[in-house]
A and B are shown apart, each in its own frame.
Chain A
Amino acid sequence: MADPLRGQVMRLYKTLLYLGREYPQGAAYFRERLKSAFMKNKDVTDPENIQKLVARGDFVIKELEALYFLRKYRAMKKRYYEPEK
């Protein structure tokens, strides 16, 4: 793997792992799936493909952030506000 790309992939993995701590089904569940998803692609060498996969990882980060926000927002709304008529 080209050096700068390796750094990118490692950072992506660490960022996703950090995000996974808040995963609704548990951090361990998330970590398992994260690891297997990365391991599945461990033999990819083409830089273009790697970039595509990293971009997909960035997309997953955004999805997780949105998921966490919505969960929290809905919980707060339910607890503190009257149900809409």
Chain B
Amino acid sequence: MSGRVLVGVKRVIDYAVKIRVKPDNSGVVTDGVKHSMNPFCEIAVEEAVKMKEKKLIKEVVAVSCGPQQAQETIRTALAMGADRGIHVEVTGKDYDMLGPLQVSKIMAALAKKEDAQLIILGKQAIDGDCNQTGQMTAALLDWPQGTFASEVSLEGDTVKVVREIDGGLETIKINTPAVLTADLRLNTPRYATLPNIMKAKKKKIAKVKPADLGLDMTSRLEVLRVDEPPQRLAGVKVETVDDLVAKLKETGRL
């Protein structure tokens, strides 16, 4: 096995920022807004770096798709311990419509090119919330998948994955090469402090275009409209229990 792990990292609007919809309802305001690495991607990077520190794998390659700014996100991954980065340049309309299908095609192509043993992704991005890229990547490669991973143990040619599912926890054993998606409780990502970022400047980021991988980024989807969620109506206060019953009857709930 190559001992190489591919980690996908996405540049998203920072989780703490208040999102604003563009006046023309075509999308969300991104210009001048603080961006950072998707929190679930941070967890994915941390898991890969931990595996390398335990000497279970040899190399961690961070991949990000997007315009020039995607390199910042790769730099953060390098500061966290990834060995090198691959920036897949996607700009303009292609970037606006970049979704799980396109990214999974890219990840699949890179996995073959780099002879990856594992692909680790975040379970979903906090902007798109698709929760599809990992699953699609596994399907395109015909690899097993361990999604919603809250615990991962690499054991030779197999991986034991404890998955967070609705009923509780499910433990599965899958063969490598495989795709894993990280859930919140998988690990505690380390912070990329300034000294680490300075050290990571020496690490290489290769730039590649989807066309170089023989891929077409055309989207099958079209965004018609983006709206803010409906405003929560203010609550109504009542004085007595009788008033409450009357109000409930009034609104047809009793």
Contacts and interface: CB of A to CB of B under 8 A. Distances in A.
A72 B191 contact: no
Max chain A C-beta neighbours (<10 A), residue from B126, B184, B191, B195: B191
A15 B194 contact: yes
Contacts of A6: none
Contacts of A61: 193
Majority DSSP secondary structure for residues of B touching A: loop
Interface string B43-54: 000000000000
Contacts, number: 34
A81 B184 contact: yes
Contacts of B188: 69
Nearest to A73: B184
B236 interface: no
A38 interface: no
Contacts of B126: 76, 79
A9 to B, nearest CB: 14
Interface residues of A, number: 19
A19 interface: yes
B16 interface: yes
A75 B16 contact: yes
Contact of B39 (A11, A14, A76): A76
Given A72-B15, A72-B39, A65 B191 contact: yes
A77 B185 CA distance: 10
B16 A71 contact: yes
Nearest to B188: A69
A68 B191 contact: yes
B189 interface: yes
Interface in A51-85: 61, 65, 68-69, 71-73, 75-77, 79-81
Contacts of B189: 69
A18 interface: yes
Interface in B152-204: 184, 188-189, 191, 193-195, 197
Given A75-B15, A76-B184, A15 B193 contact: yes
Contacts of A72: 15, 39
B75 to A, nearest CB: 13
Interface of B: 15-16, 39-40, 126, 184, 188-189, 191, 193-195, 197
Given A19-B193, A65-B191, A65-B193, 20 more contacts: A11-B195, A15-B193, A15-B194, A15-B195, A18-B193, A18-B194, A18-B197, A19-B191, A24-B16, A61-B193, A68-B191, A69-B188, A69-B189, A69-B191, A71-B16, A75-B15, A76-B15, A76-B40, A77-B184, A81-B184
The 10 closest A-B pairs by CB, nearest first: A18-B194, A65-B191, A15-B194, A76-B184, A76-B39, A75-B15, A72-B39, A15-B193, A14-B194, A69-B188
24 contacts: A11-B195, A15-B193, A15-B194, A15-B195, A18-B194, A18-B197, A19-B194, A61-B193, A65-B191, A65-B193, A68-B191, A69-B189, A69-B191, A71-B16, A72-B15, A73-B184, A76-B15, A76-B39, A76-B40, A76-B126, A77-B184, A79-B126, A80-B184, A81-B184
